[in-house]
Structure 1
Amino acid sequence: MEVVIDCYFDQIFSEMERSSLLSRYKRRALVNYFTAIIQGCAKGEELENTDVCERAVLAALRYHNLTLVENGSICLLGKFHNVLYVAMKLCFDWELRNNEIVSRLLNDIFYCEKTFERIFVGAIFGTRVTHFLSGWKSDFEDREENIRALIYFMDHANSGRLLYSSPASTGKCRFVDVPMESYGQAIPIRVVIQLGSPDILLLLLRYGASSFADGLSPSPLEMVLNKFSELEVEPGQYPPQLVACLRVLLRTVPLVRVNTPSHIADRSGVETVPLYDQYPKFVESNLVPPERSGVSPPELKHLCRCRVRQSLFDNWALPHGIKELRIPQSLREYLDLLAD
């Protein structure tokens, strides 16, 4: 079986045009080709489909790495790189569980692109607008499948404890916080907030996305507050999606503090103040509870949630490690940010 796949890359694939995998339908055709090989070889050699899939993915990785080495460790892009997205689709379609292989695939994608935005954009924006935003059509059918694929790769990134260095971030960051190059090097959580998508925001936060991963100002939470400030509507008429984004973010911080203007910080030495000092109307209108604004102390239950989640995050156990805790289901949902 390895001979069949290697011959394909050595003879047929090498003769294809460099841009042959730029179109989504051509990548899908190649996925279908390998799917037929996987099914046929698994049946003929009495193997598990996933075992044959592993060999197909490894062959794609070998081909990519071989062309990379031959070009002085510089990716040739085109079909030589896009074959990784064929391998990515195979991993997802066959639910490949080999973390070593999937981690290697993610590392190879990052080595060449310095971003994972092609995995994120379909889940964030859906499949119709991604081509106009970044020139890339998602390899997955619809937004729902894109979300499932994002979850699949976030799980593998956490299992492999993958960390990445990025020019747009300080130090190393996790898969979920890798900046999106075509979107101003913004971390995914910022893109989601700008779009106003509370369901994806909740998903990223559940997997440990940080509101302070890039250390930039304004923070994602301040971005939401600024959006509310710009609205000229009555408190009860705020956009529901924006309100939902704020509620989700408030579940992740013990107390909301906002940055003071730089000229004030330089003179006074006070870099942050409680939310109530800068946005009192949000507290008075019950948009932000007093326990998060600095008016009242945070609840002990919420402080415990923040501390337990930090411990789980440090041990790469978000969100699935919550299920292992011997606590009532209601508390599990609370820890998993599914309840206020």
Structure 2
Amino acid sequence: MEYVFDVFFEESFLVMERSGLKSRTGRRNVIDHLNSVISGCIQGRETASVQLAVGLAVKSAIDYHRKMRSDNFKVCMMGKYHNVLYIALRVAWDWSLEDSEIIKTLLEEIYMCEQTFERIFLGALFGSNAPHFIAGWKSDFIDQDENLRALVFFLHHACQTRLNVLSYSYIYRDIRLTKFIDIPIESCGKASPLRVAVQASAPDVLMILLRHGANPDPDDGGASPIISIFDKLLDNENRVYPYQLVSSLGLLLRCTIMIDLPYKPHLFHIRKEMFETKYATLLADKIIPPDQAFGVPSLKSIARCHVRNNLRNNFQLPRGINKLLVPRKIKKYIDLLD
């Protein structure tokens, strides 16, 4: 069966123009053809054979990419030779591939060439058409809903395999291992997916990212997302605050013990005074919780944050929450659902 897929990629790409996979239609045609080959291989067989066939198809795509890169002095030739990985990505999603190790290898192969996962995240953040205007390519998923479901699919497998890749850390000013979910999006000013979701005022996407372990204070060189929302809220006249911004703020505050006041390196009492002056209206309107700004947070809030941090560090969000020996109501609280 493996030979069938190797031949498929060799013969299909031999006659294909280098730009043959540049368009979504071109990629879709190859995906449909490959799905037909997979269907032919598994016809009349058990479900286990389905997973085997899809896994072999994805591995063959990865092997083809590696071979072409190796033949070009270990430099990706891009064009159709790189987009073969996105054929594999869509096929893995179409057939709900369960082998997390294969998907991890596929994601690592994509990152090796691109140093970003923006083609997985942008469609979920802005919808299928936006990536064409932002990054010059069209999403392989139908609409934003399918993009979001695909994102959750890849987040799940990345978590299962504890996927880390090397990325620049602004805190340590060095290259360090970073989780798949926190890798900056190149065409969005190298901002993390969470920061882009905050800037786009997309609380539904932000919720997905936080539940799956995104760092609520990402190390991408930008200001605190919470402070960024405060500044956005100040721009609204008549103290009418957009629901999307307030919802996003509420989600971030659930994952934060204390708000890190700006104006460092001033002493705390000076920073507090400057903060109260600038955000007086937000404090008066109870948009900013005083206990998280310069008071004492509730014990249950502190406990939730510590539990979530431990689960996040061990790649256990959100699935690890159900393993906790606590009542269901507390599980929902930890999972940001209450």
| Cα RMSD after superposing both structures | 1.9
Q: Which ranges of structure 2 fall in alignment gaps of 5 or more residues?
A: none
Q: Distance in 2 between matches of 1:323 and 1:272?
A: 43
Q: Distance in 1 between matches of 2:23 and 2:227?
A: 39
Q: Which amino acid in 2 is paired with 1:73?
A: K
Question: In 2 relative to 1, CA 300–272 (structure 1 residues): closer, same or farther, beyond 3 Å?
Answer: farther
Partner of 2:259: 256
TM-score, length basis structure 2: 0.93
Question: In 2 relative to 1, CA 193–113 (structure 1 residues): closer, same or farther, beyond 3 Å?
Answer: same
Q: Distance in 1 between matches of 2:162 and 2:226?
A: 26
Q: What is the DSSP-based 3-state SS (H/G/I as helix, E as strand, rest coil) of the residue aligned with 2:165?
A: strand
Q: What is the DSSP-based 3-state SS (H/G/I as helix, E as strand, rest coil) of the residue aligned with 2:98?
A: coil
Q: Distance in 2 between matches of 1:228 and 1:206?
A: 24
Q: Aligned-pair distance for 1:15?
A: 2.1
Partner of 1:310: 309
Q: Distance in 1 between matches of 2:232 and 2:52?
A: 50
Partner of 1:203: 208
Q: Aligned-pair distance for 1:4?
A: 2.4
Partner of 1:70: 71
Q: What is the DSSP-based 3-state SS (H/G/I as helix, E as strand, rest coil) of the residue aligned with 1:257?
A: coil
Q: Which amino acid in 1 is paired with 2:66?
A: N
Q: Give yes or no for contact 1:255–1:292 (8 Å, CA) kept in 2.
A: yes
Q: What is the DSSP-based 3-state SS (H/G/I as helix, E as strand, rest coil) of the residue aligned with 1:165?
A: strand
Alignment map for 1:243-282 (pairs within 5 Å):
243-260=246-263, 265=265, 268=266, 273=271, 276=276, 278-282=278-282
Q: Aligned-pair distance for 1:210?
A: 1.1
Q: Aligned-pair distance for 1:203?
A: 0.9
Q: Distance in 2 between matches of 1:216 and 1:260?
A: 16
Q: Give yes or no for contact 1:218–1:259 (8 Å, CA) kept in 2.
A: no
Partner of 1:166: 167
Question: In 2 relative to 1, CA 77–213 (structure 1 residues): closer, same or farther, beyond 3 Å?
Answer: same
Partner of 2:333: 334
Q: Distance in 2 between matches of 1:159 and 1:11?
A: 34
Partner of 2:197: 192
Question: In 2 relative to 1, CA 203–86 (structure 1 residues): closer, same or farther, beyond 3 Å?
Answer: same
Alignment map for 1:123-162 (pairs within 5 Å):
123-162=124-163
Aligned length: 331
Aligned-pair identity in percent equals 39
Q: Give yes or no for contact 2:100–2:161 (8 Å, CA) kept in 1.
A: yes
Q: Give yes or no for contact 2:261–2:293 (8 Å, CA) kept in 1.
A: no
Q: Which ranges of structure 1 fall in alignment gaps of 5 or more residues?
A: none
Q: Distance in 2 between matches of 1:307 and 1:113?
A: 34
Question: In 2 relative to 1, CA 19–93 (structure 1 residues): closer, same or farther, beyond 3 Å?
Answer: same
Q: Aligned-pair distance for 1:290?
A: 2.5
Partner of 2:87: 86
Deviations 1:220-240 (A, max 9, x none): 111111101222222xx2111
Deviations 1:85-130 (A, max 9, x none): 0100111111111111000000000000000000001110011222
Partner of 2:10: 10
Q: Which amino acid in 2 is paired with 1:15?
A: V
